[in-house]
Structure 1
Amino acid sequence: MSDAGPAGYEFGDNIPVEPIEAGTTVFVAGPALSPSEDLARAMVAHGTGFGEGSLFISTNMTCKKLLQSCQRNDPAIDPTQMGIIDCSGQDIGKAELSAEVKYVSTQSDLTGIGMKFSALYESLYPAVAEGRVRTGLISLSSLSMYVDLRTLFQFSQTLAGRIDSADGLGVFAIDPTTHDTKTVNTLSQAADGRIEVRDAEESDADGELRIRGLTDQPDDWQPFRLSG
C-alpha cells in the first residue's frame, strides 16, 4: 500500500466498511450463490457517486449485463465514469453503452487484458476526481479455469501493483469453495486484505461480511445492503 496520504475510498452507510486506504487491493470472498460478487461490483461502481472512476474486468458477465447489475443496486451510478473490459466471449454484438468498453476475446489472454486495463486506466485517470479509480476484477475464480496458478498469481500481483502505484482501489472477487487451500493462500498474497461474505441471517439484509487483514475494520459479521 502507498505510504502517503490520499483520502480513503468510501462505501456509504449500507456497506459497513470503513474507508479503505488508497493503493489497497482486497479480495471479496464467498461461494458462487452468495452475494459476494454483487458486493464486489457495488464497492467499485459506488465510486462514481464520489466523482471517481470505476473500471471492471468482467470475466463471467457481458459488459451490458454487468452495467445492468450495477444499476439495479444503484440507479444513480454514472456510466460515463465507468470502463469495462469484457472478456466473457459472449458479447458478439458489441453493445453500445455510455461506459467505455474494450473487448478481449478469451479469458486466457491475460496479456491482452493487461493492455486493455492500462489503456482504460489511462483514459479514466485524468477524467475523474483526483485521478481516483476503483478496479473490480470479477472474478479470479473464473480466470483460474483458463490459466495456471503461477500465471494467475503473477497477473494478480502485477494488477495490484499498478493499482497501488496509482493510489487506486482494487476489489478482486474469488470463490474459495472452488479452490484448494494452497491456491487460495497463494492468490491471497497479491492482496492486502480479504472481505469474507456469507448469506444474511437478517431478512432485510442482502448478506453479511467480515474483514481480515485490514486495520480499523469490523472483524465480526456485519449485515450489508446493496441498495438504498
Structure 2
Amino acid sequence: MVDCVSRQLGSHRGDGHHRFVSDAGDLTGIGIRTSEFMRQLQASCDTVGLGMHTLSTTLMYADLRSVYQFLHVLTGRVGSGDFRGGFVLDDVGDARSYSVLRQPFDGLVEVRDGDEAREVRTRGLDIGPRAWTPLPR
C-alpha cells in the first residue's frame, strides 16, 4: 500500500507492505513507491494487480495536466509489466476533466445512480454490460 494520508493524521505504521508519501499530490513519491512494489511483486508473483483508490483526491492536490501525465506513465508501466489495473474516479463534475482522465485507460466501468437502483455499464472491455444495467441489491 502506498499511503497518502496516515502521516498527516499521525497514525502511520510502516511494514514491508506499506510505504508513505507526504500527500495525495506527491505524484513523484506515489510513482516511486508504486514502482518499488511493482518490481517486487513482478519478481515473486504470476499475476499482479494495481489499484488506485485516491484518483479523485489526487485531483484536489494536483492540476489536471500533472494527474494525466502521472496516469499515462503509471498505466504504461502496468501495461508493460502485464499487470491488471483498476483506478477509481468519483464524479469530477466537469466533462473536460473526465474526458482527459479517461484517455490513458483501455476500458471503463461506469456506475451511476438510476431511478430505482445504482446502474453499471462497461466501455472498451470484454466483460460486463454495454448498456446501463441495474446492479443487484
- Give the TM-score normalised by structure 2: 0.85
Where structure 2 has 5 or more consecutive residues not aligned to the other structure, the ranges are: none
Where structure 1 has 5 or more consecutive residues not aligned to the other structure, the ranges are: 1-83
- The match for 1:92 among 10, 14, 17 is 10
Deviation at 1:213, TM superposition (A): 2.0
Residue aligned with 1:100, SS: coil
Cα distance in 1, alignment partners of residues 19 and 78 from structure 2: 19
Cα distance in 2, alignment partners of residues 224 and 101 from structure 1: 34
Q: How does 1:1-228 map to 2 (within 5 A)?
A: 84-88=1-5, 89-95=7-13, 100-128=17-45, 130=46, 132-176=47-91, 178-199=92-113, 201=116, 207-215=118-126, 217-220=128-131, 221-224=133-136
The alignment of Structure 1 onto Structure 2 pairs a total of residues equal to 134
Q: What RMSD over aligned residues (CA atoms) do the two structures have, in Å?
A: 2.2
Q: Any conservation in 2 of the 1:210–1:222 contact (CA below 8 Å)?
A: no
Cα distance, 1:119–1:91 mapped onto 2, change above 3 Å? farther
One-letter amino acid matched to 2:121: R
Cα distance in 2, alignment partners of residues 147 and 163 from structure 1: 22
Q: Any conservation in 2 of the 1:209–1:224 contact (CA below 8 Å)?
A: no
More contact order relative to length (CA 8 Å, sep ≥ 6): 1
One-letter amino acid matched to 2:74: L
Deviation at 1:119, TM superposition (A): 0.6
One-letter amino acid matched to 1:210: R
Residue aligned with 1:209, SS: strand
Residue aligned with 2:23, SS: coil
Cα distance in 1, alignment partners of residues 13 and 73 from structure 2: 29
- Give the TM-score normalised by structure 1: 0.53
- Give every structure 1 segment of 4 or more consecutive aligned residues whose post-TM-superposition deviation is greater than 6 Å: none
One-letter amino acid matched to 2:90: D
Cα distance in 1, alignment partners of residues 99 and 127 from structure 2: 23
Identity %: 37
Cα distance in 2, alignment partners of residues 218 and 198 from structure 1: 14
Q: Any conservation in 2 of the 1:135–1:171 contact (CA below 8 Å)?
A: yes
